[in-house]
Amino acid sequence: MSAPLTSDQLEELKKCISNDKCAECSSPNPAWASVSYGIVICLNCAGIHRGLGVHVSFVRSITMDDWTTDQFNTMLRGGNDKWNGYWAKNASPEELASCSVAKNDLTDRKEMARKLKAKYETDLATSYRELLASDGTSSGGADSSSNMSMKQSATSLPNKVVLPEDPLPTVKQYRDETFSFLLSILKQSKKLLFAWSVVGVGSASYAHRLGDHTYTSAALLAMTAGIPYFLTKMGARFLGALQMKNRQDAFKSAKNLLVGRITVGRASRLENCDVYYPPLSSSGERKAKVGFVFFPGALVDRTAYSQVATMLSDRGIMVVVANLEPTRLLMNAYDINLREKVMRMINDALFLGGKGIWEVDEWSIGGHSMGCFAAITAVAQEMSSTIKKVVLYGCGAYPDETYADCPPLRDAAGVKALVINGSKDLIATSTLLSGPEKEKIFNEKMPPLLSENTTANSDEGYTLRKTIDGGNHAGCASYGPQTFPMPDGVRTITLEEQHKMTSHLTADFLLG
């Protein structure tokens, strides 16, 4: 039987000397393992180890893969220091010179792969692998007093966490929400109201000239209220069916990652949000420098953001992803208190899901696509005194009056914004829904662009734009392809590459 590692088992692995760094290049917080050698390694080195073949190095993800008891026991018999000590003491001078990777080695991947291939094809590596796989009685020259005792046994593996199924929405829920949204458009659009008023008055006048005074009031009512109401209902019916059809579920890999994180205590699924926790401090404190509240894109499963959220949490950021089920929509903010919603999620993240109370020094907010509207509006309306950083993925428009009464974010003192879009994003760049002036309006209402007499370390607000070359609209998450409300562009980079670039830019901005 196999299952993900528990938080207690992860702590046991961390107790092994030097297991807080990659055994090959010393990169911090490694999340992969070579079971064959009982070592933990970083993502880059894990890719090289996989290329050696499973007969040489059997690679597992510490958080995403299932583990057998024998595999976990092998890891406890090993450890980074044990293998590195064995290699340093027993390798020949020629092997040490040609095969070893220096600490924080900055050579290119091909050179690193060549060195590691030569290292793990040596008789010395084969001998260690066979000894570790047997009864583990050889010290191999490594420190026998290490807390990585060869006789240490693994704790029993738990049952795998099963995510509860989210309730499915009905078509009626989509119709009702869309109808409210379309009514808000009618109320806010003076041109439409004026046009229908003219039609209504003209129709009533025509009925009056015909001498049929009985139908004058009826005509006025029908043309100014009845027909617009009917058309709005039909529009809501049509759009509601489209929304139901175009829900975007997360890829299985994203679901598995969240399950793995929950199993080892690094994530929680709460009623209002999913929370991704950073590692505990060296002293065991539950403390994060930055918290990041995130609103998903319209119709997108919140689980789809688990990869980027996990990468950010590994950088020390607590990530809180809003639960917008069952409709996965926040079409307008007139009937929603965004500040209250954000504060409820923060409160839940700090007190309900982390097996203890967490502390966060400062909070930031962000969103993807339509979720950007919620993030911008929350800060612009009420929260600019407490939230000073906003991160927007796939965003090309500013919230207009059909969404919320949203003041210019430029007027909020000291707010800094990061906008990350893919060069192949055909949704954020489209003017179909927001009109040809949308980019101009966006730039006027957002904080000044960084190039406009501001610097990144300035106390004044600014907007920093970053483009991921080859990335598309859906590439900041794990779902797709996206064809609604219009087809997305095709990525020319891998999904993993876009995730990495997105998380890297975000973390540098939030922690800077």
231, two tokens: 């058309």
Q: Please state, in angstroms and rounded to a whole number, the distance separating the CA atoms of residues 417 and 410.
A: 10
- Run of H or E residues at 297: none
Measure the CA–CA gap between 201 and 195, rounded to whole angstroms. 10
End-to-end Cα distance, the chain: 44
Structure token pair of residue 137: 């009685």
pLDDT average, residue stretch 191-214: 57
Q: Quick: pLDDT tens for 224-266.
A: 556 667 777 888 888 888 889 999 999 988 887 888 788 778 8
Nearest to 44 by CA among 111, 93, 95: 111
Q: Which two tokens stand for residue 406?
A: 């949203």
> Strand 39-41's sheet: what is its strand order?
39-41, 32-34, 59-61
Cβ neighbour number for residue 275 with a 10 Å cutoff: 28
Q: Which of 2-6, 40-44, 207-211, 402-406 has the lowest mean pLDDT?
A: 207-211
- What 197-201 contacts at long range (C-beta under 8 Å, 24+ apart), as own/partner pairs, is 197/224, 199/223, 199/224, 200/224, 200/225
Q: CB of 171 within 8 A of CB of 240?
A: yes
pLDDT at residue 15 tops 50: yes
Average pLDDT value over all residues in the chain: 82
User: What pLDDT does residue 210 have?
Assistant: 56
What tokens appear for 21 in the block? Answer: 């760094």
- Taking CB atoms within 8 Å and a gap of at least 24, the contacts of 40-48 are 40/13, 40/80, 44/109, 44/112, 45/112, 45/116, 48/24, 48/109, 48/112, 48/113, 48/116, 48/117
CA distance linking residue 125 with residue 86, whole number of Å: 9
Joined tokens for residue 323 = 């639960």
Structure tokens at 483: 């064809």
Q: What is the pLDDT of residue 148?
A: 35
Residues belonging to the chain: 512
Average pLDDT over residues 58-70: 86
Q: Which residue has the higher pLDDT, 435 or 484?
A: 484
- At CA 199, angle to CA 197 and CA 202, rounded to 5? 105
Under 8 Å between Cβ of 288 and 275: no
What is the three-class DSSP state of 388?
Answer: strand
- Give pTM, 2 decimals: 0.66
Q: Residue 107's pLDDT band (boundaries 50, 70, 90)? A: low
Phi/psi of residue 439, nearest 5 degrees:
-70, -40
β-partners of residue 376 are none
The confidence score (pLDDT) of residue 444 equals 95
Q: What is the 3-state secondary structure (H, E, C) of 160-217?
A: CCCCCCCCCCCHHHHHHHHHHHHHHHHHHCHHHHHHHHHHHHHHHHHHHHCCCHHHHH
Residue type, 446: M
DSSP 268: E
Spell out the residues 6+ positions from residue 66 whose beta carbon is closer than 8 angstroms to its own. 2, 3, 4, 160
Q: Which of 16-25, 125-134, 366-375 has the highest mean pLDDT?
A: 366-375
Closest of 472, 456, 474, 473 to residue 464, by C-alpha: 456
Pair 420, 502: CB distance under 8 Å: yes
Chain mean position to CA 508? 15
How far, in whole angstroms, is CA 293 from its chain's centroid?
10
Element containing residue 33 per DSSP (H, E): strand 32-34
Predicted confidence (pLDDT) at residue 445 exceeds the cutoff of 50: yes
**Per-residue confidence (pLDDT) for residue 509, from 0 to 100:** 97
Strand, helix or coil for residue 280: coil
For residue 144, the model assigns a pLDDT of 35
CA-based torsion, 123, 129, 134, 135: positive or negative: positive
Q: Per residue in 255-312, pLDDT tens?
A: 878 887 887 788 999 999 999 999 888 778 899 999 999 999 999 999 999 999 999 9
Residue-level pLDDT at 425: 97
| Radius of gyration from C-alpha coordinates of the chain | 28
Q: Which residue has the tokens 């458009």?
A: 185
Contacts of 400 (CB under 8 A, 6+ apart): 188, 406, 434, 441
Q: Are 75 and 125 in contact (CB under 8 A)?
A: no
Contact criterion met (CB below 8 Å) for 346 and 293: yes
